[in-house]
């Protein structure tokens, strides 16, 4: 839990109660907390002191001079591990006393607000980044966990100043089931996409051509999916649809990019992926995602996981790709059916295959939808919009009466 780096003094634009020092905001997350770095940098530009707590290494934070603290966080059900997580957060909060703790992801959003309240942190914010496995699966375990999930979210709500939702469906569910206090919620679509930064990270034409040759994509239409290899992300449907499409079109390559999951029964065995090697190229996790998106013609995410707003859809849209995804909360916020992509019912391989074939056979439609995708992200999901919304929420949460904090 050692402090990894420090930042230089900031202009006092966002001031704490003493009016002499900037407001210090910490983002609390898990193994992908580094994805918050562009947003933290944008908040720093707006005058906030920023820091982060996560379960991954802190190299990316050190590179950006953002204070980072590592803690232990188990994704699954492990009460003993959760007790240790609480003790680590408690020690950090007591020692450093940030003005605002803002938690993301299911477990941090349940744990951090309560710990922050007990340690005297005045500003407590949580973002509901989707409703996850418990509401994506109809397994006996998932159904049994739903009442427990609702109870834990109600407890977290009491300790939270403002709860942020990333899509209207999640907000409606939480309000209906009294999992958020009246008047203490807000809607901010996604976590912000750095459109210009993402485009800059795409390779130059020579590198694009080299990568295309390396992957054997010359003369091919490329369909791409990026996801952790879990069932509820629609990976199996993607594998099945690749076989259907490749039987009807011979110049198509399906790419699957992402890490193998350790999520027990939800994980797709790597052997199952390899069995489809004839129709799907599995590239594993990659660090050149903008380049691979630039080489793609259609982006597909057949997820029936309860997403907040899938970042990968926003990134693909930024790279001017037409999108095919499911008519699910979070996904349908990114895709306007027939305008910048196509929506299909979840778990419907026939509809998914039809949608992919439709776009592969319509270059003009792909081009038009792709251009609309980027406009949609720039208009509704930009990094600056989200940073402005968060800055407003941070200032509001610090002004709540102490009885509500």
Quote the domain boundaries for residue 52: 24-192+383-398
180 and 148 part of one domain: yes
pLDDT of res. 264? 64
pLDDT digits (tens, 9 = 90+) for 53-66: 999 999 999 999 99
Q: Is the pLDDT of residue 405 over 90?
A: no
48 and 167 part of one domain: yes
**231 occurs within a structural domain:** yes
**404 occurs within a structural domain:** no
pLDDT of res. 380? 96
**19 occurs within a structural domain:** no
173 and 206 part of one domain: no
Q: Is the pLDDT of residue 404 over 60?
A: no
221 and 155 part of one domain: no
pLDDT digits (tens, 9 = 90+) for 109-150: 999 999 999 999 999 999 999 998 889 888 898 899 999 999
**18 occurs within a structural domain:** no
Q: Kindly give, in sequence order, each residue whose CB lies less than 8 Å from that of residue 271, ignoring residues fewer than 6 positions away.
A: none
Looking at the structure of the chain, the number of domains it has is 2
**405 occurs within a structural domain:** no
| Spatial CA neighbour of 300 closest among 216, 217, 246, 242 | 242
Q: Measure CA 297 to chain center.
A: 23
Return d(Cα 80, Cα 25) in angstroms, integer. Answer: 28
249 and 165 part of one domain: no
pLDDT digits (tens, 9 = 90+) for 228-285: 999 999 999 999 999 999 999 999 999 999 988 666 678 898 999 999 989 999 999 9
Using DSSP, state whether 44 is helix, strand or coil.
helix
Note whether 45 and 11 are within 8 A (CB). no
CATH number of the domain bearing residue 39: 3.40.50.2000
Return d(Cα 314, Cα 63) in angstroms, integer. Answer: 25
171 and 242 part of one domain: no
For residue 242, give the H/E element and its range: helix 235-248
200 and 324 part of one domain: yes
How much is the average pLDDT of 29-33?
93
257 forms bridges with which residues in the sheet? Answer: 226, 284
The residue count for the chain: 405
329 and 354 part of one domain: yes
Alpha-helical (H) ranges within 326-402 are 331-334, 349-360, 363-380, 383-398
**177 occurs within a structural domain:** yes
């Amino acid at each position: 839990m050692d402090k990894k780096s420090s930042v230089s003094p900031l202009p006092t634009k966002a001031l704490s109660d003493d009016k002499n020092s900037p407001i210090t905001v910490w983002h609390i997350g898990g193994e992908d907390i580094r994805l918050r770095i562009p947003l933290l940098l944008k908040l720093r530009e707006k005058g906030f002191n920023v820091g982060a707590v996560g379960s991954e290494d802190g190299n990316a934070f050190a590179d950006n001079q953002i204070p980072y603290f590592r803690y232990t966080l188990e994704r699954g059900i492990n009460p003993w591990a959760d007790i240790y997580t609480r003790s680590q957060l408690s020690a950090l909060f007591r020692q450093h006393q940030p003005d605002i703790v803002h938690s993301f992801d299911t477990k941090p959003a349940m744990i951090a607000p309560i710990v922050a309240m007990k340690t005297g942190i005045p500003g407590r914010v949580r973002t509901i980044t989707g409703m996850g496995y418990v509401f994506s699966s109809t397994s006996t375990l998932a159904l049994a966990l739903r009442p427990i999930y609702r109870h834990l979210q109600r407890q977290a709500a009491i300790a939270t100043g403002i709860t942020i939702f990333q899509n209207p469906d999640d907000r409606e569910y939480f309000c209906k089931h009294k999992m958020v206090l009246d008047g203490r919620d807000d809607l901010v679509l996604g976590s912000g996409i750095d459109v210009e930064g993402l485009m800059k990270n795409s390779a130059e034409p020579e590198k694009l051509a080299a990568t295309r040759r390396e992957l054997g994509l010359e003369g091919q239409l490329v369909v791409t999916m990026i996801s952790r290899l879990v069932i509820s992300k629609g990976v199996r449907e993607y594998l099945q649809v690749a076989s259907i499409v490749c039987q009807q079109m011979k110049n198509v390559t399906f790419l699957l990019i992402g890490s193998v999951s350790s999520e027990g029964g939800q994980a797709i065995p790597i052997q199952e992926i390899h069995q489809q090697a004839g129709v799907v190229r599995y590239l594993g996790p990659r660090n050149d995602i903008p380049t691979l998106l630039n080489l793609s013609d259609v982006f597909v995410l057949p997820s029936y996981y309860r997403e907040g707003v899938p970042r990968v859809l926003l990134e693909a849209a930024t790279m001017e790709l037409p999108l095919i995804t499911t008519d699910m909360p979070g996904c349908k916020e990114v895709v306007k059916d027939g305008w910048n992509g196509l929506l299909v019912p979840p778990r419907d391989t026939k509809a998914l295959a039809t949608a992919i074939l439709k776009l592969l056979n319509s270059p003009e439609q792909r081009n038009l939808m792709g251009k609309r995708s980027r406009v949609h992200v720039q208009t509704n999901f930009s990094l600056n919009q989200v940073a402005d919304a968060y800055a407003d929420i941070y200032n509001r949460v610090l002004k709540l009466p102490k009885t509500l904090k």
